[in-house]
């Protein structure tokens, strides 16, 4: 029991270091004016395969930064691969639950376009996936 | 700008409801011959889906909780000042007390929200799914208009009464 907790904590630290690394990469991409690439980097390796709330929060902060940096939603969907749609939808719902006005506005805008592109199945998958929550 | 966010907010809720309203009959697992809305009891986690909160801003939000045979939608309406607070509470209490007539309305709102709907698989069998969703979205649009109208009429009445009363002192 104690050993598995130890492994979990180790895992969490490793994940958080990976997230910080990702965050630095994203800052550089945003400075180069590549918001779509930044979002792709943020969504890679998400959600972290752990139950630790700190990892999920850390990952959310990184994805949030990338989402808020997007100005043109239509161009986003030209270049984003479909494999990222499901995970993006999960993060959009997390963004909508925050209640912060600019975040909600941005998430609502992306949500409308994402539903048009990915369909209702995407929404249902994010509702039904109780194992890998963000 | 505000109209645009309202449109996006309602579209998001409509899409989420269309995806979430996939209900089927499911007899109670614990007690035989009983059939209960699982979203109210929350006894078995395998029967529940993730609940989502959709916020338009700090004041308005919508909580959607689904389960295998029922769906609960709770709304928090925008209340700008004390008067709107009282009007909303009274108006929605009026509606909730007549929940039998609405069928899908819940008699008491969920804690932290102003009004709640409970849609079960029986409702989906009797009524059309897209019409139910239209009803709920239309309700959300009309609520804001109703509260503004009520506030306007209270202010107008107050002004008229005050003018008439104070005329005797001129």
> Average per-residue pLDDT in chain A?
86
Cβ(A19)–Cβ(A59) under 8 Å?
yes
Q: What is the mean pLDDT of residues A28-34?
A: 89
Provide, as residue numbers in chain A, all residues whose Cβ is less than 8 Å from the Cβ of B20.
123-124, 127
From the list B8, B19, B52, which residue is nearest A108 (CB)?
B8
pTM comes to 0.89
Report the alpha-carbon distance of residue B121 to residue B70 in Å, rounded. Answer: 6
pLDDT in tens, A109-134: 999 999 999 999 999 999 999 888 88
> Which of B16, B57, B58 is facing A123, going by the closest CB pair?
B16
- Residues A87-113, mean pLDDT to the nearest whole number: 93
What pLDDT tens digit does each residue of chain B (170 aa) get?
778 889 999 999 999 999 999 999 999 999 999 999 999 999 999 999 999 999 998 999 999 999 999 999 999 999 889 999 999 999 999 999 999 999 999 999 999 999 999 999 999 999 999 999 999 999 999 998 999 999 999 999 999 999 999 999 98
pLDDT at residue A119, rounded to an integer: 92
Residue B27: predicted pLDDT:
94
Q: How close B160 gets to chain A, by Cα (Å)?
A: 38
* pLDDT confidence bin for A6, thresholds 50/70/90: low
State the pLDDT confidence band at A75, using cuts at 50, 70 and 90. Answer: confident
- Residue A17 is given by DSSP the state H
Crossing angle of the two packed helices B2-20 and A120-128, in degrees rounded to 10: 70
Shortest distance between the Cα of A89 and any Cα of chain B, in A, equals 11
Confidence (pLDDT) at A78: 85
A132 reaches B (C-beta below 8 A): no
**Backbone dihedral angles phi then psi of residue B55, each to the nearest 5 degrees:** -105, 135
Residue A10: its pLDDT value, please?
A: 63
**Which range, of A11-15, A62-66, B41-45, B111-115, averages the lowest pLDDT?**
A11-15
Q: What is the pLDDT of residue B92?
A: 94
Quote the strand ranges of chain A, DSSP E.
none
Query: Which of B47, B77, B78, B70 lies closest to B132, judged by CA?
Result: B70
């Amino acid at each position: 029991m104690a050993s598995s907790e130890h492994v979990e904590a180790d895992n969490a630290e490793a994940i958080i270091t990976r997230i910080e690394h990702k965050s630095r990469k994203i800052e550089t991409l945003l400075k180069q004016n590549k918001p779509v690439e930044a979002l792709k980097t943020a969504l890679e390796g998400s959600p972290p395969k752990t139950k630790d709330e700190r990892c999920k929060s850390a990952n959310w902060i990184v994805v949030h930064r990338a989402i808020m940096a997007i100005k043109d939603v239509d161009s986003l969907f030209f270049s984003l691969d479909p494999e990222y749609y499901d995970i993006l939808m999960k993060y959009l719902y997390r963004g909508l639950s925050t209640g912060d006005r600019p975040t909600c506005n941005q998430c609502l805008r992306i949500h409308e376009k994402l539903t048009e592109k990915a369909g209702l199945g995407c929404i249902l998958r994010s509702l039904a996936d109780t194992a890998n929550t963000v | 700008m505000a109209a645009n966010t309202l449109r996006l907010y309602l579209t998001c809720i409509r899409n989420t409801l269309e995806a979430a309203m996939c209900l089927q009959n499911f007899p109670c697992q614990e007690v035989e011959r009983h059939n209960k809305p699982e979203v109210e009891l929350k006894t078995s986690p395998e029967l529940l889906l993730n609940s989502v909160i959709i916020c338009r801003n700090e004041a308005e939000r919508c909580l959607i909780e689904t389960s295998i045979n029922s769906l609960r939608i709770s709304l928090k309406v925008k209340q700008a000042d004390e008067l709107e607070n009282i009007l909303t509470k009274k108006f929605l209490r009026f509606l909730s007390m007549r929940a039998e007539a609405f069928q899908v309305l819940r008699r008491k709102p969920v804690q932290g929200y102003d009004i709640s709907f409970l849609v079960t698989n029986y409702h989906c069998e009797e009524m059309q799914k897209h019409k139910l969703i239209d009803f709920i979205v239309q309700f959300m649009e009309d609520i804001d208009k109703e509260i503004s109208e009520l506030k306007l009429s209270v202010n107008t009445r107050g002004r008229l009464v005050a003018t008439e009363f104070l005329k005797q002192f001129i």
